[in-house]
Chains A and B, each alone.
Chain A
């Protein structure tokens, strides 16, 4: 049987406000436990929440950035459940009247085509605290620093059909929220995490299959892996004649498997009702328009500019604009070397290759944009050839340093002095009589290929620094004279 995979994502974005959603406590990661809380965050009786206007602005900015309906009337609701890291006994969220309604996002697929993914809604809510289950004399430790930190929960339509599409959607969302500056997007610190609703159905069937919800995935790599193992699990069950149970599952990245979350909770029954401590939030068109006007250049716009202004291919432009930091890096390289095409080749080529090999994201690469720009300058002014450039890049990546100093220290300067090259060519020819004979005996059309041996020898003699074009020309001339 052939299966179709159906994926919807709920992305939680931690908004980069200075203070919390409903209190004047400092928001932010990494402080000593419970040093960033107020009576409101502790859920003390009588402590009342007051809504942070910056969180509202950020939510509206997101809505306008994805062309969504921004709701002029939104209402906070209580989502009731008991867990010790939520001292109020409910989470303040939005239910019937979220701040952002229907919108959409375009992603690029592997075959380079564009697919539109629907965004159902985005609503504001507060984060919970953190439970630490290490053993504190048989008890659980609670840190409420994160309690009431503002979150924007972005819910997609079940429009994605494989794990790669889900990753592309998440990456695009990451690019948008970091571009408009509403979140630092730091996934390792939990600033952006997602729940994936995954189900499968026989190809051609309209009715959706029973879904499992994969909770709290916090890296692009894990989204792909978690979805893929979950899909395999569901296919195995259905093909063995079993049934999928609707449940919440956790992805274990060490074992690369999903498993049901141990939960004594009743089936979700959150008994939402409008929060009596907070009044309806009313905003007007002027407010929304002012925020829309203040949006920076969005990833799609930047991509279009890379094509029209810098002459990049659509593909390179979309790859380079996929993350704000990557696009900023690329533009910083261009600023130094003034050659967009070569910069794009290096950023999407060598740099990306090293990033994959070393498993680092663009904001952690050891080679600065300025250094890469200078390196490209040295290629353009013929100081180094492409092989030498790769050696310099490797050195910059592994030990840092200045481009010109590395070229100097490693003798990578391309030798374009025709006399010096000629001497090396003569040496190689003189010391390889056997190969010269073979070359002379070969048919003319096969000689081109045989030239490779001599090229290799000369480049080796020059430690890779000879100008390959000159070597090639000289070798041909001299060898043909001998034949």
Chain B
């Protein structure tokens, strides 16, 4: 499967990455070559093989429903670029 430049532009928007027009071509080529490896793998017969959701042969550990962390707001706020009234400030999301 080969990706067009338009695909790269869409992926870049979804991933919030800035990709210059000159880079777009390179990415299209290199991601397409990864996908061609995938195409090769698709040829393997996987009948009767359970889809794997995690490579570890283990299941999820559970945690007791207990509050184990105190309020650490001051510590977290101290490393944030902008805050006010205990809120983290980010560039305006809506107009």
- Give the interface of A toward B (CB within 8 A): 17-19, 23-26, 32-38, 42, 50-56, 75, 80, 82-84, 97, 131-133, 136-144, 262, 266, 269, 271, 274, 276, 278-282
CA distance A137 to B84 in the complex (A): 10
Q: How large is the interface on B (under 10, 10 to 19, 20 to 34, 35 or more residues)?
A: 35 or more
Q: What would 27 A/B residue contacts be, using CB atoms closer than 8 Å?
A: A19-B63, A24-B68, A24-B69, A25-B69, A33-B86, A34-B87, A34-B88, A36-B71, A50-B61, A50-B62, A51-B61, A51-B63, A53-B65, A54-B64, A80-B14, A83-B93, A84-B90, A133-B92, A137-B84, A138-B92, A139-B91, A139-B92, A140-B91, A143-B87, A269-B10, A274-B53, A279-B60
Asked if A276 contacts B54 (CB within 8 A), the reply is: yes
A33-B85, A133-B92, A140-B91 known; 4 other A-B pairs, CB under 8 Å?
A: A24-B63, A50-B62, A55-B65, A82-B16
Query: What B residues does A143 contact at CB under 8 A?
Result: 86-87
Interchain CB contact (< 8 A) of B62 among A33, A53, A141 = A53
Candidates A19, A34, A266, A276; contact of B66 at CB < 8 Å = A19
Contacts of A19 in B (CB 8 A): 63, 65-68
Contact A38/B87 with A24-B66, A52-B65, A84-B93 known, Cβ cut-off 8 Å: no
Report how far A255 CA is from B59 CA in the complex, Å: 50
**How far apart are the CA atoms of A17 and B65 in the complex, in Å?**
7
A18-B65, A34-B87, A141-B88 known; A281+B60 contact, CB < 8 A? yes
Q: In the assembled complex, which residues on chain B have CB atoms less than 8 Å from the CB atom of A75?
A: 53
| A262 proximity list for chain B (CB < 8 A) | 94
Given A35-B86, A142-B90, A279-B54: A50 and B63 interface contact (C-beta under 8 Å)? yes
Give the docked Cα–Cα distance between A269 and B14 (Å).
8
List the A side residues contacting B76 at CB < 8 Å: 34, 37, 42
For B19, list chain A residues within 8 Å (CB): none
Complex CA distance for A148 and B90, rounded to whole angstroms: 20
* Chain A contacts for B85, CB-based, 8 A: 33, 136, 141
- Give chain A residues whose Cβ lies under 8 Å from the Cβ of B16: 82
**A386 to B: closest C-beta gap in Å:** 50
Contact indicator B60/A51 (Cβ below 8 Å)? yes
- What number of A-B contacts does a CB cutoff of 8 Å give? 125
* Contact yes or no, A35 B71, CB < 8 A: yes
B1 within 8 A of A: no
Query: Are the C-beta atoms of A97 and B13 separated by less than 8 Å?
Result: no
A19 to B76, CA, bound (A): 19
B59 and A280: CB pair below 8 A?
yes
Once A266-B13, A274-B53, A279-B56 are accepted as A-B contacts, the answer to whether A34 and B86 lie under 8 Å apart by CB is yes
Closest to B10 in A: A266
CB distance from B64 to the nearest CB of A (A): 6
* Contact (Cβ within 8 A) B53 A132: no
CB contacts (< 8 Å) of B84 on chain A: these are: 136-137, 141
A33 contact set on B, CB distance < 8 A: 85-87
Closest to A143 in B: B87
A139 CA to B87 CA in the complex, in Å? 11
**Beta-carbon contacts under 8 Å, B40-95 to A:** 53-54, 56, 58-69, 71-73, 76-77, 82, 84-94
Q: Complex formed: what's the CA distance from A282 to B50 in Å?
A: 15
- Contact, CB under 8 Å: A274 / B54: yes
Cβ–Cβ < 8 Å partners of A140 in chain B: 89-94
A37 surroundings in chain B (CB, below 8 A):
72-73, 76
B contact residues around A80 at 8 Å (CB): 14
Query: For the complex, what is the distance from the CA of A24 to the CA of B10, rounded to whole Å?
Result: 37
| A437 CB, nearest partner CB in chain B, Å | 79
Which of B13, B62, B88 touches A56 (beta carbons < 8 Å)? B62
Tell me how far the C-beta of A28 lies from the nearest C-beta in chain B, rounded to whole angstroms: 10
Q: Determine the chain A residues whose CB is within 8 A of the CB of B59 once the complex forms.
A: 279-282
CA A292 – CA B79 in complex, angstroms?
A: 47
B86 to A280, Cβ gap below 8 A? Answer: no
